[in-house]
């Protein structure tokens, strides 16, 4: 397993738990020693336990140096990052560098498997780089969500394996036999495209939902009822229908840009996808406008309490977090930001990060929920109200119960739902 990020580490630890012998390789010596001692840096339920058990069973080890690690492997998984490169395309330098490093020492018949999300055609390119006909290249995309990666791995909706050597693809599929999931065996290009097509579809779905939420606000409808009514249609499904401050994270933004670029490379103008990306940016702007409205129209000098910074609940990942994107605009417009996230500490430019939710309320003109951590629902909102200067709560995740907020003497506004104004008490 080359690369011990979210994907490599989860895949390595889970494959070890299925009974395979796994060596995880990384260039980061300090990280390798931490992992060898069972210390996992990322917040991923169940992962540290699987790492411990894998090490104890002698089925999982961590080393530096890919060349030595792959010499006796039956399969080598490439799990190195493919970040958004210049112009929006996937940056394949890490994949290519590892391939060049290990190509000549791979044992005969060893499957070289790409887990990293790579543009269509990369398997072919890797095959050329390896320059060997006795090493089949197989695409085996992952569909792990951060925060539920172990559960997703062990209970997958499907396994996708693709290669121009179908026997090799099938053999890689068998590594997952214990999981009892449907296995889609495909040619290399189709398998590579599945990953992009799936992630981009999810992004389209969310941009669509955020657009419908905007219509709800303008038409006086309620998105939670609209999506409930839509979701019972099995062709649509009930998940991935929650509006929010826009989609983010380590995958959706980079994969949507990369697929637009892939399409451009074959002269296809993927306007549906570029619209979804534009809509996502517009959603962030609408959220900023909503917050500005809550503090009387001017953000300069306004004190905003921010609940949530991670790109979604259940993770400490800040990569491409819509919460941070909204905060950076608020900060640029002169707002004074006090933020709390249960999984994030340390300094972040443009805001004061505190370690307690109630501190964000202190003297705040408005409090904004940007990440859907369940604990925000269970705050003592009457105590929050006491601490606040203003009365507005902007709930960009529709997380809170508006009645609880109103009962606390505050006003609630979400996304695509009717506002719940504070009751005026006449004494
Ligand atoms: C995603 C894919 O789901 C996963 O299959 C792939 O392997 C990696 O990319 P992840 O980035 O962990 O996983 O996040 P996901 O749970 O899919 O959420 C993506 C973004 O959409 C987040 O910003 C999240 O807050 C947002 N989202 C999700 C919504 O706004 N509403 C929803 O209903 C669901």
What DSSP assignment string belongs to 164-184?
A: SSHHHHHHHHHTTGGG---EE
Q: Ligand 1, atom 1: nearest CA belongs to which residue?
A: 145
The atom of ligand 1 lying closest to the CA of 241 is 33
Is 197 domain-assigned? Answer: no
Those residues whose C-beta lies under 8 Å from the C-beta of residue 247, and which sit 6 or more positions away, are: 202, 203, 206, 207, 253, 280, 322
Which residues of the chain have a pLDDT value below 50? none
For residues 13 and 35, is the Cβ–Cβ distance under 8 A?
Answer: no
Q: Ligand 1, atom 21: nearest CA belongs to which residue?
A: 247
Per-residue pLDDT at 425? 66
Is 204 domain-assigned? Answer: no
Per-residue pLDDT at 101? 95
Is 223 domain-assigned? Answer: no
Those residues whose C-beta lies under 8 Å from the C-beta of residue 161, and which sit 6 or more positions away, are: 138, 139, 140, 169, 170, 172, 173, 183, 184, 185, 186, 191
Is 151 domain-assigned? Answer: yes
For residues 321 and 343, is the Cβ–Cβ distance under 8 A?
Answer: no
258 and 348 assigned to the same domain: yes
Is 221 domain-assigned? Answer: no
CA distance readout (Å), 108 to 112, 130, 164: 11, 12, 17
CA of 168 to the centre of ligand 1 (A): 31
196, 202, 397: residue to mutate for ligand 1 pocket, most atoms within 8 A of CB: 202
Tokens 């290009």 found at: 189
29 and 176 assigned to the same domain: yes
Q: Which residue range forms the structural domain that includes residue 299?
A: 252-423
Per-residue pLDDT at 181? 96
CA of 41 to the centre of ligand 1 (A): 21
30 and 142 assigned to the same domain: yes
CA of 145 to the centre of ligand 1 (A): 7
352-355 long-range CB contacts below 8 Å, 24 or more apart?
353/309
Dist. CA 301–CA 292, nearest whole Å: 11
Here the CATH number for the domain that contains residue 89 is: 3.40.50.720
Quote the tokens at residue 259: 């697929």
141 and 276 assigned to the same domain: no
Domain end residue (candidates: 167, 186, 205): 186
* Nearest to 161, CA basis, from 194, 192, 139, 193: 139
The atom of ligand 1 lying closest to the CA of 145 is 12
Q: Ligand 1, atom 27: nearest CA belongs to which residue?
A: 247
28 and 108 assigned to the same domain: yes
Per-residue pLDDT at 89? 84
Is 219 domain-assigned? Answer: no
Q: Ligand 1, atom 34: nearest CA belongs to which residue?
A: 240
287 and 411 assigned to the same domain: yes
172 and 272 assigned to the same domain: no
43 and 128 assigned to the same domain: yes
Is 236 domain-assigned? Answer: no
268 and 171 assigned to the same domain: no
What DSSP assignment string belongs to 83-123?
A: -B-GGGSB--HHHHHHHHHHGGGSPTT-EEEE-S---TTHH
Number of compact structural domains in the chain: 2
Q: Ligand 1, atom 7: nearest CA belongs to which residue?
A: 143
Is 210 domain-assigned? Answer: no
274 and 165 assigned to the same domain: no
Domain end residue (candidates: 128, 159, 186): 186
CA of 309 to the centre of ligand 1 (A): 15
pLDDT 10s digits, 344-394: 998 999 999 999 999 999 999 999 999 999 999 999 999 999 999 999 999
416 and 276 assigned to the same domain: yes
The atom of ligand 1 lying closest to the CA of 320 is 23
Per-residue pLDDT at 98? 95
The atom of ligand 1 lying closest to the CA of 247 is 23
Residues having CB within 6 Å of any atom of ligand 1: 142-146, 199, 202, 206, 240-242, 244, 247-252, 311-312, 322
Cβ count near 266 (within 10 Å):
8
42, 142, 145, 343: residue to mutate for ligand 1 pocket, most atoms within 8 A of CB: 145
The atom of ligand 1 lying closest to the CA of 239 is 33
Q: Which residues are catalytic?
A: 251
149 and 266 assigned to the same domain: no
Domain end residue (candidates: 186, 202, 231): 186
């Amino acid at each position: 397993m080359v690369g011990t990020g979210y994907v490599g580490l989860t895949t390595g630890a889970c494959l070890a738990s299925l009974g395979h012998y796994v060596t995880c390789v990384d260039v980061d010596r300090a990280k390798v020693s931490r992992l060898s001692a069972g210390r996992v840096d990322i917040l991923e339920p169940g992962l540290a336990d699987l790492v411990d058990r894998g090490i104890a069973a002698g089925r999982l080890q961590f080393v530096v140096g890919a060349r030595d690690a792959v010499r006796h492997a039956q399969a080598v998984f490439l799990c190195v990052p493919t970040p958004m490169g210049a112009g929006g395309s996937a940056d394949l330098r890490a994949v290519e560098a590892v391939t060049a490093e290990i190509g000549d020492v791979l044992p005969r018949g060893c499957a070289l498997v790409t887990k990293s999300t790579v543009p269509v055609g990369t398997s072919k390119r890797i095959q050329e780089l390896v320059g060997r006909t006795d090493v089949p290249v197989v695409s085996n995309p992952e569909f792990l969500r951060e925060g539920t990666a172990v559960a997703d791995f062990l209970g997958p909706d499907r396994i996708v394996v693709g290669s121009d050597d179908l026997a090799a693809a099938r053999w890689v599929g068998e590594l997952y036999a214990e999981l009892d999931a449907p296995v889609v065996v495909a040619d290399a290009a189709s398998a590579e495209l599945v990953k992009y097509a799936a992630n981009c579809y999810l992004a389209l779905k969310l941009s669509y939902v955020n657009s419908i939420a905007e219509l709800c606000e303008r038409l006086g409808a309620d998105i939670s009822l609209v999506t409930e009514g839509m979701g019972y249609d099995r062709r649509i499904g009930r998940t991935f229908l929650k509006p929010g401050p826009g989609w983010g994270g380590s995958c959706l933004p980079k994969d949507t840009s990369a697929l637009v670029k892939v399409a451009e490379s074959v002269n296809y103008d993927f306007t549906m996808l570029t619209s979804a990306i534009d809509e996502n940016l517009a959603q962030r702007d609408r959220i900023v406008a909503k917050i500005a409205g809550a503090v009387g129209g001017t953000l300069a000098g306004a004190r905003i309490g921010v609940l949530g910074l991670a790109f979604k609940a259940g993770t400490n990942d800040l990569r491409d977090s819509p919460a941070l994107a909204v905060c950076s605009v608020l900060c640029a417009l002169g707002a004074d930001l006090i933020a709390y996230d249960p999984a994030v500490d340390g300094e972040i430019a443009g805001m004061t990060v505190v370690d307690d939710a109630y501190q964000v309320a202190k003297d705040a003109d408005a409090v904004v929920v940007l990440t859907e951590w369940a604990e925000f629902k269970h705050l003592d909102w009457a105590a929050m109200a006491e601490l606040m200067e203003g009365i507005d709560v902007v709930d960009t995740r529709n997380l809170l119960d508006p009645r609880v907020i109103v009962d606390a003497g505050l006003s609630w506004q979400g996304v695509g739902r009717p506002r719940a104004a504070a009751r005026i008490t006449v004494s």
